[in-house]
Amino acid sequence: MTLKKILKSDIKELLRQSAKEWEVYAPVTAEEGDTLFTRLPKEKGKLEKALQGINLKDEWVVISPKDAFFPQLEDMFHFDKEKIIDTPSPSKKLIFGVRPCDAKGILFSDEFFKKNYEDKYYLSRAKDKLMIAVGCLTPPRPEACFCTSAKTGPFLESGFDLQLVDAGGAYLVEIGSDKGSEFVNAHAKLFKNSEKDEEDKVKKIKSKAAEAVNLKVDFEKALEIMKGKNDFTENYERIGERCIYCGGCLYVCPTCTCFNVLDDKKGDKGVRRRNWDGCVFRGYTREASGHNPRDKKSLRTTRRYEHKLKYDYSATGMSGCIACGRCLTSCPVKIGMSKFIEEITTGKRTM
Ligand code: SF4
Ligand code: SF4
């Protein structure tokens, strides 16, 4: 893999240049202290202000960049009596500084939204993107991150356009695609050639980073178990009773894809919108007749775990969990995917 190098002090200039051509999303620490994936403004003064908050350290990014492609609330089309005006929004998107697990989440969503039906709203946003990942030297939330178990981090082996490896004063830059290579060429003044010994340096950094991830579960065994016939009724009932159905885990999950559709209509005109929804909510599966095939809490809990660890995997070859740990950190009653996996693979009660 070709290796280049960029000084940390040149990152802001790279983003300044990129913002002229791309819709750039990057982790920015807000005044309140949270680090969020933020769309960088194009207007010079606002861009400079946002650049002050760029944060590529191993910080906890509260929400993944999923909503660059699948917004929490979006207009699908406008309509009146005569016509429908579609509002897909294609644009070149640069997802800069995405964590490896979240990049895997985007790759999963790319598959999901074309699996049974081509979702033009998602696909029009996602088709022209460039992902520049940054690996984690240490897990941002050691008690929650379990990427090594799912092989989704702390560095990517493939699927990225560029991957940054923090080497002190500079990032060593792995080029993972032709698009990544074109990007480097377009900003050739900022990307230098790497030294001979720096490939070894990258290997050492990656191996140390993997050792730093302490939370481990048997992810492969869980996928294998979930493939077969099993009876986790007791687990689903217990977790279902514990859950307070706040939806926190769903909204922060990079791979949750449930949505609802509604029409906002005034007279003959209106707009059809969709918004994130969640399989743990009772109303999500309630049918027009009032019948609800998943009216019990335990059935909705079953759906959540089976969807992520069984159906997604069999349909896309990728697990619907990328081991980011956000469900555990957001849950007020400490339910999390890593704990569920531990339960089914060891038989131990964790929740
Ligand atoms: S289920 Fe939890 S750990 Fe897995 S991707 Fe979603 S939020 Fe992350
Ligand atoms: S965050 Fe916890 S309590 Fe809230 S819906 Fe998810 S599992 Fe249930």
User: Distance, CA 188 to ligand 2 centroid (Å)?
Assistant: 47
According to DSSP H, which parts of the chain are helical?
11-21, 44-52, 100-115, 120-126, 147-150, 178-186, 198-211, 219-227, 233-242, 248-252, 297-306, 312-316, 326-330, 337-346
Region 32-42: mean pLDDT is 93
For residue 161, is pLDDT > 80?
yes
Region 137-144: mean pLDDT is 96
- Between CA 31 and CA 38, with CA 35 as vertex, the angle to 5 degrees is 90
For residue 90, is pLDDT > 80?
no
Please state, as a whole number, how many other Cβ atoms lie within 10 Å of the Cβ of residue 29: 17
Q: For residue 168, what is the DSSP state?
A: S
User: Distance, CA 325 to ligand 1 centroid (Å)?
Assistant: 5
For residue 21, is pLDDT > 90?
yes
Instruction: Please state whether beta strands 23-29 and 35-39 pair in parallel, antiparallel, or not at all (unpaired).
Output: antiparallel
331 lines ligand 2 (CB under 6 A): yes
The residue whose C-alpha atom lies closest to atom 6 belonging to ligand 1 is 253
Q: For residue 309, what is the DSSP state?
A: I
Note the pLDDT of residue 111: 94
Please state, as a whole number, how many other Cβ atoms lie within 10 Å of the Cβ of residue 268: 9
Please state, as a whole number, how many other Cβ atoms lie within 10 Å of the Cβ of residue 329: 19
56 lines ligand 2 (CB under 6 A): no
335 lines ligand 2 (CB under 6 A): yes
Q: What is the pLDDT of residues 278-301, one digit of tens each?
A: 999 999 999 999 999 999 999 999
Residue 8 CA to chain centroid, in angstroms?
Answer: 24
User: Distance, CA 4 to ligand 2 centroid (Å)?
Assistant: 43
Residue type, 85: I
For residue 88, is pLDDT > 80?
no
Region 242-267: mean pLDDT is 95
Region 220-238: mean pLDDT is 94
Note the pLDDT of residue 270: 96
Closest ligand 1 atom to 320 CA: 5
Q: What is the pLDDT of residues 204-222, one digit of tens each?
A: 999 999 999 999 999 999 9
For residue 89, is pLDDT > 80?
no
Residues 218 and 341: their CA atoms lie apart, in Å, by: 7
CA distances from 16 to 48, 90, 133, 229, 333 (A): 8, 21, 18, 53, 42
Residues 192 and 304: their CA atoms lie apart, in Å, by: 46
Note the pLDDT of residue 13: 98
Q: What is the mean pLDDT of the chain?
A: 95
Note the pLDDT of residue 32: 87
For residue 55, is pLDDT > 90?
yes
Residue 194 pLDDT class (50, 70, 90 cuts): very high
Element (H, E) at 191: none
CA distances from 170 to 86, 97, 127 (A): 44, 14, 30
The residue whose C-alpha atom lies closest to atom 8 belonging to ligand 1 is 324
Q: Indicate which ligand has the atom closest to the C-alpha of 337.
A: 1
Residue 316 pLDDT class (50, 70, 90 cuts): confident
User: Distance, CA 85 to ligand 1 centroid (Å)?
Assistant: 35
280 lines ligand 2 (CB under 6 A): yes
Closest to 304 measured CA to CA, from 347, 257, 346: 257
For 230, the token pair is 């099993």
Q: For residue 240, what is the DSSP state?
A: H
Residues 325 and 342: their CA atoms lie apart, in Å, by: 13
Burial of 234 (0-12, 13-18, 19+ CB in 10 A): exposed
Note the pLDDT of residue 256: 96
Q: Indicate which ligand has the atom closest to the C-alpha of 153.
A: 1
For residue 98, is pLDDT > 90?
yes
Note the pLDDT of residue 247: 94
Q: What is the pLDDT of residues 162-182, one digit of tens each?
A: 999 999 999 999 999 999 999
For residue 38, is pLDDT > 80?
yes
Percent of the chain topping pLDDT 90: 92
212 lines ligand 2 (CB under 6 A): no
CB 252 within 8 A of CB 62: yes
The residue whose C-alpha atom lies closest to atom 2 belonging to ligand 2 is 331
Domain segments of the chain as ranges: 3-211, 219-346
Residues having CB closer than 6 A to ligand 1 are 252-255, 308, 321-327, 337
For 122, the token pair is 């998602």
Region 195-212: mean pLDDT is 96
Note the pLDDT of residue 196: 87
Q: What is the pLDDT of residues 323-350, one digit of tens each?
A: 999 999 999 999 999 999 999 999 999 9
- Please give the residue that has the higher pLDDT: either 13 or 314: 13
Q: Indicate which ligand has the atom closest to the C-alpha of 146.
A: 1
CA distances from 299 to 175, 238, 260, 280, 307 (A): 45, 11, 20, 9, 12
Residues 221 and 266: their CA atoms lie apart, in Å, by: 53
For residue 228, is pLDDT > 90?
no
Residues 162 and 44: their CA atoms lie apart, in Å, by: 26
* Mutation probe of ligand 1 site: the residue of 151, 253, 276, 331 with most atoms within 8 A of C-beta: 253
For residue 87, is pLDDT > 90?
no
